[in-house]
Structure 1
Amino acid sequence: MDLSARNLGAPRTLAVAAAIVCSLLTGCSLWSGPSKPKPAELGANVPVLGVRQAWTSKVGNIGRLPLDVHVNGSTVTLASADGVVAAVDARTGGDIWRATLGTPLSAGVGSDGKWAAVVSVDNQLIALSDGREIWRKPLSAQAYTAPLVAGNRIFVLAADRSVSAFDAGTGVRLWNQPRPGEPLVLRQSGVLTAVGDTLVVGLSGRMVGFNPDNGTVRWEAPLASPRGTNDVERLVELVGRTSRGGDNVCARAFVSTVGCVNTIRGSVVWTQPASGTEGIHGDDTTIFGTESNGVVVAWRRADGSRAWSSDRLQYRKLTGPLLLGRSVVVGDDTGLVHLLSREDGAPLNRMATDGSGIAAAPVAAGDTLVVVTRNGGVYGFRPD
């Protein structure tokens, strides 16, 4: 978790903010000092579900870049903190293309298979096609959410809460929708996705539906509200990946709630208290999330009631989950990848990587499970 303070549209990092949040918010995932809880013992790995490492590749160091690993068919697009963007063939692990942008990144990567887009730390939106940079355009503020590429347009959610649309081919800005911001923002991925003909964006604790053609607001649905008496206590954001089932989109509000919204009516279906900091995933019946203390939770999609929770990974820093067949897949900060049963959270298998920690929620491309580590290792796993 990282925080920034807005300063004339260009957020600066607060060195003490994370420590303050840890002292004020229940369930914080950052522990320090002698009181740091000891992670639960994993015990021997008994592979109920056979999985093998099919290939490994490398991209530049990820570090603290809020990385979104994007999948289009069998192509996995990813980026490094120092500005390497690569499209990897999930069948072989080989590069389809690779570009070196020569500038550090603050957000990446979005792609529709034809265009790819990232944001640099000096507030430049950079577009690529087939591994070739085609344009750069300045933004009014930093961005920590990967751009959304859809319908030959590139959409950007900036840290000042503005939402913009650009022509993917030319870089012409089509529209910009400013929004009142808050003093603090999270330096991690927010919510920016498309549902039918609606652009769905997380703004503070609200899910907002925009007309993607002109930026007008169609509806707003609150999943969480600011609380407390100071800027840190009142911080509320929608974070990470979402789970879509038809017109229903479920999301997490940072250390506050998990909830679902009907995107046709723009109405909240349900919310439940939850203390996690990462996004969620699921299907038409169940959604899954990881809490700040390493507990994995399953909620019934229809009403938000809890289906099960598992403390087998308690006090491990976990990524957001991936629902993959009968498994819920999560990575941890030691570089382990855990496969848990979707039915009750029982362990099915676990795999090791390079030990540097898993940098982003796992993804699936065809029959390959792909994970990326903080050191830039890219691993492809397949069923035996």
Structure 2
Amino acid sequence: MNLLKRYVVPAACAMTLLALAACSSHNDERRTPVPLTEFKPVLNVQQVWKASVGKAGRYLFSPVAVGDAVYAAGENGSVGKFDAQTGKEIWKVKLKDDLSAGVGSDGNLTAVGGLKGQVYVLDNNGKLLWQATAPGEIISPPLVGNGLVIVRTIDGQIVAFNAQTAEQKWLYRNRAVPLNLRVSAGMTFAGDQAVLAGFPGGGFAAINLQTGDAFWETPVSYPKGVTEVERINDVSGPPTLVGATTCAVTFQGQLGCFDANSGRAVWEKPFSSVSGIAQDDTTVVGADDWSVVHAYSVANGAQTWSSDKLKNRDLSVPVLLGHAVVMGDYQGYVHFLSLDDGSFVSRVKTDGSPIVAAPVLAGNTLVVQTKDGDLFGLRPQQ
């Protein structure tokens, strides 16, 4: 197979379980968020527009960018398409049911999901094209493309539907685990042949888009400990893919990069994250459970820098933007860190509510969605 042809993440306390580390921040002095320090910005980032799509409630809603358009959804059933240059609403609809996951789009079809397994697919004008049901609650964004709408359930089942007819094409089941996190474990297309996905229990697989069989399966890490809580070891966030290298991270486990064609591990490091990672040609970046940000070489896993300047601020999934790492925090700040050394280069305040989803780049505009359902268009100035 050649994959070279060629995206919970949680609110820190939205886990199936009790108070895990990230949820005990208000009772544990070690978890006190560090205050923000002043610095002289070297990157000028301006807010150029603001729009609204609906609050996220206790779920994670990630925007998705296709060309110069941004698609977003909210818990109350709202789904919208916006012009990324101006923030102008192109269309917005309200579905009959509440949503728990969204949104996936290829620019023609847009898909969202619900707690009862509902899958809604809208056409390019926002009209409901079809509706189907997956075998479990959906809290991760669907994938749309390659003639398919692919959704995953909280227990790790992945279902592919024909994008036009809603016919179920295949169902992939990974091994069940006794306890797992309620995190948004995304999926990533590997060209037109496979979808990459991580699972509860630390598994990682490349799944054939035509048949639903695995090209390969490999562990990112193995469960450790005695109790079921100690043995939680779920892949968090979507796997990354750049060239022939794919990387993934687990909670209470490891961060690793793998050969995308074979699943062979290139390197692995002890790590724990509930948010996920970002990757480019040379660097993979992620925040650990304490929101300490770490950067590693994609080639060999050597750590290039770490920063505790945002410790315990419940950082979002990161995104890499040129020479900057961009992450939101629990107070609605968007932080821009230098990819070279982790120093601050810019900071923008949004609406004060948490940012847990990765910002997305649409054209020259960075779009951020907050828990209060606001969309912010941010533009670095040259």
TM-score (norm 1): 0.91
**2:3 counterpart residue number:** none
Are residue 322 (structure 1) and residue 319 (structure 2) matched? yes
Flag as ranges the 4+ runs of structure 1 deviating above 3 A.
Answer: none
Q: Distance in 2 between matches of 1:182 and 1:34?
A: 29
Measured in 2, the distance between the counterparts of 1:92 and 1:378 equals 12
| One-letter amino acid of the counterpart of residue 147, structure 1 | P
Q: Is 1:137 matched with 2:136? A: no
Does structure 2 retain, via aligned residues, the 8 Å contact 1:59–1:80? yes
Residue 59 of structure 1, CA deviation: 1.0
C-alpha distance in 2 between matches for 1:160 and 1:243: 21
2:198 to 169, 177, 202: 202
Matches within 5 A, 1:71-110: 71-110=65-104
For residues 329-361 of structure 1, what are the alpha-carbon distances to aligned partners after superposition, in whole Å with 9 as ceiling and x for unaligned? 111000111111110011111111110111311
Shift of 1:93: 0.4
* Distance in structure 1 (CA, Å) of the matches to 2:37 and 2:123: 46
Checking the alignment, whether the CA contact within 8 Å between 1:125 and 1:139 is kept in structure 2 is yes
Q: Is the 8 Å Cα contact of residues 2 and 186 (structure 1) preserved in structure 2? A: no
* Residues in 2 aligned to 1:30 and 1:282: alpha-carbon distance in whole angstroms: 29
What is the correspondence of 1:252-263 to structure 2 with a 5 Å cutoff? 252-263=249-260
Residues 286-325 of structure 1: matches in 2 within 5 Å? 286-325=283-322
Indicate yes or no: 2:151 matched with 1:173.
no
- What CA distance in whole angstroms lies between the structure 1 residues aligned with 2:164 and 2:62? 22
CA–CA distance in 2 between the matches of 1:43 and 1:215? 49
1:39-66 CA distance string (max 9 Å, x none)? 2232224221111111111110012222
Percent of matched pairs sharing the same residue: 37
Aligned mates of 1:161, 1:39 — CA distance in 2: 32
Is contact 2:152-2:159 (8 Å) kept? yes
Q: How far, CA to CA, are the matches of 2:85 and 2:119 in structure 1? A: 30
Aligned residue identity for 1:372: Q
* Aligned pairs (5 A) from 1:199-348: 199-204=195-200, 205-348=202-345
Shift of 1:181: 1.5
1:8 equivalent in structure 2: none
Provide the rounded CA distance (Å) in 2 between the counterparts of 1:303 and 1:13: 32
Tell me, yes or no, if structure 1 residue 18 matches structure 2 residue 18: yes
1:90/1:203 Cα in 2 relative to 1: closer, same or farther (>3 Å)? same
Residue pair 2:316, 2:329 contacting (<8 A) in 1 also? yes
Higher strand share: 1
- Residue 355 (1) aligns with residue 337 (2): no
Question: Aligned residue for 1:382?
Answer: 379
Q: Once superposed, what is the RMSD of the aligned Cα atoms?
A: 1.9
Runs (5+) with no aligned partner, structure 2: 1-7
Q: Mind listing any 5+ residue stretches in structure 1 that lack a counterpart?
A: 4-11, 23-27
| 8 Å CA contact 2:68, 2:85 repeated in 1 | yes
Q: How many residues align?
A: 368
- What is the distance in 2 between the residues matched to 1:243 and 1:209? 12
